[in-house]
Amino acid sequence: MHTRTLGHGIDGAGLAVSAIGLGAMGMSQSYGPNPGSRDDMIAVLRSALDHGVTLIDTAEVYGPYVNEELVGEAVEPIRDRVVIATKFGWHIEADGRYTGVDSRPEQIRRVAEASLKRLRTDVIDLFYQHRVDPSVPIEDVAGTVGELVREGKVRHFGMSEASAATIRRAHAVFPVTAVQSEYSLWTRDPEAEVLPTLAELGIGFVPFSPLGKGFLTGTVSTDAGFADGDIRTTIPRFTAENRAANQRLVDHVAGLAEAKGATPGQIALAWLLAQQPWIVPIPGTRRTSRIVENAGSTAVALSADEKADLDGLARRLGVAGDRYNEVQFSYVGH
């Protein structure tokens, strides 16, 4: 797999990563009970490197904490060949509930120290603010992460689901290497303001849920049921009615995939890769077979006409249902 470079960093050097990364969240939460054991997930994480995937994305809040521990154990023997991204920014109660955002400088430092231990490493390659904290000036956040970089505990600063204006303010204090937000064929929000800002400032972009939480793979049927604890039960876009309405979009992608000898998921990822050379999607999975499939998207070439057709797909067909519910949206776009 070829590599891509995110941002510039404090010394002008960007962060080189595989063109497709791996989101580890689903191994610990959000998609119902994991059918595999801890050892199975460690094997899946390690297999990613065998297929060219070097960027692994986690966060303290996934679990919470257990996902970082899982990633730390998995990559310890291959640490020098893996780029670890993790995140700070939530207030997590003793019982594991997260009850709001917290990016106070002292909290950022506490999270960094705890994450380093769980990840079994002496440096975090990419440290994202998971959600913007409106009560803490973003300049203070950027400055604190900058101090951690200078101390050698963090290599690069990232932000997630931030507005273009907030990204600019942060970047003016300390270079933002990457921004992570939801982006896919059916979630196009970053295109209006965020992506042009990143292009101007030389910041990389890391789309999460690039496969639409599984829907764009064509494997989530209209009448599918979701297990207890599956985040999709809380998302308006995944009601049975909205899935039925959105099936036209998936059918269109599936038709192109069949014509090109690819899978719908590979088409969705290839479209993202074709948007900009500094975009690195991080699809999540619990199976090595999916890692292989996702990695294969880097070999899927889209013609100019095919890309243009996909560019306008959501506009032509429409997308039914919001990507978040009201509570989830309250943490986005500051």
Q: In b/e form, how buried is each residue of 144-166, taking b as 16+ CB within 10 angstroms?
A: bbbebbeeebbbbbbbbbbbbeb
**Which string of DSSP letters, residue by residue, matches 59-97?**
-TTTTTTHHHHHHHHHHGGGGGG-EEEEEE-EEE-TTS-
The mean pLDDT of 116-128, rounded to a whole number, is 98
Alpha carbon distance 253, 32 (integer Å): 27
User: Is residue 228's pLDDT more than 90?
Assistant: no
Q: Give me the active site residues, please.
A: 62
Ordered domains of the chain (ranges, CATH): 3-329 (3.20.20.100)
Q: Alpha carbon 286 to chain centroid distance?
A: 15
Alpha carbon distance 47, 127 (integer Å): 24
How big is the chain by its Cα radius of gyration, in Å? 19
3-state secondary structure of 282: coil
pLDDT at residue 18, as a whole number: 98
**Position 131: which residue type?**
R
Alpha carbon distance 197, 74 (integer Å): 35
Contact in structure between 171 and 203 (CB atoms under 8 Å): yes
Percent of the chain with pLDDT over 90: 92
Q: Any idea which of 65-79, 106-120, 227-241 has the lowest mean pLDDT?
A: 227-241
153-171 pLDDT per residue, tens: 999 999 999 999 999 999 9
Alpha carbon distance 101, 81 (integer Å): 32
Instruction: Identify the CA nearest to 126 among candidates 45, 285, 7, 217.
Output: 7
User: Is residue 71's pLDDT more than 80?
Assistant: yes
Q: Which residue has the tokens 């059916």?
A: 186
pLDDT at residue 267, as a whole number: 98
126-140 pLDDT per residue, tens: 999 999 999 999 999
3-state secondary structure of 128: strand
Q: Which residues pair with 160 in a beta bridge?
A: 180
Alpha carbon distance 14, 178 (integer Å): 10
Q: pLDDT class for 305, splitting at 50, 70, 90?
A: very high
User: Is residue 246's pLDDT more than 90?
Assistant: yes
**Which string of DSSP letters, residue by residue, matches 191-240?**
GTTHHHHHHHHT-EEEEESTTTTTGGGT-S-TT----TTBGGGG-GGGSH
| Mean of per-residue pLDDT scores for the chain | 96
Alpha carbon distance 300, 274 (integer Å): 10
Contact in structure between 331 and 161 (CB atoms under 8 Å): yes
Contact in structure between 130 and 100 (CB atoms under 8 Å): no
The mean pLDDT of 237-252, rounded to a whole number, is 96
15-39 pLDDT per residue, tens: 999 999 999 999 999 998 888 999 9
pLDDT at residue 145, as a whole number: 98
Q: Which residue has the tokens 């803490």?
A: 136
Largest CA distance in the chain: 54
User: Is residue 9's pLDDT more than 80?
Assistant: no
The mean pLDDT of 71-94, rounded to a whole number, is 97
pLDDT at residue 159, as a whole number: 98
Pairing, β 124-129 against β 98-101:
unpaired
Q: Does residue 222 or residue 166 have the better pLDDT?
A: 166
Pairing, β 154-160 against β 176-182:
parallel
Q: Which residues pair with 5 in a beta bridge?
A: 16
pLDDT at residue 223, as a whole number: 84
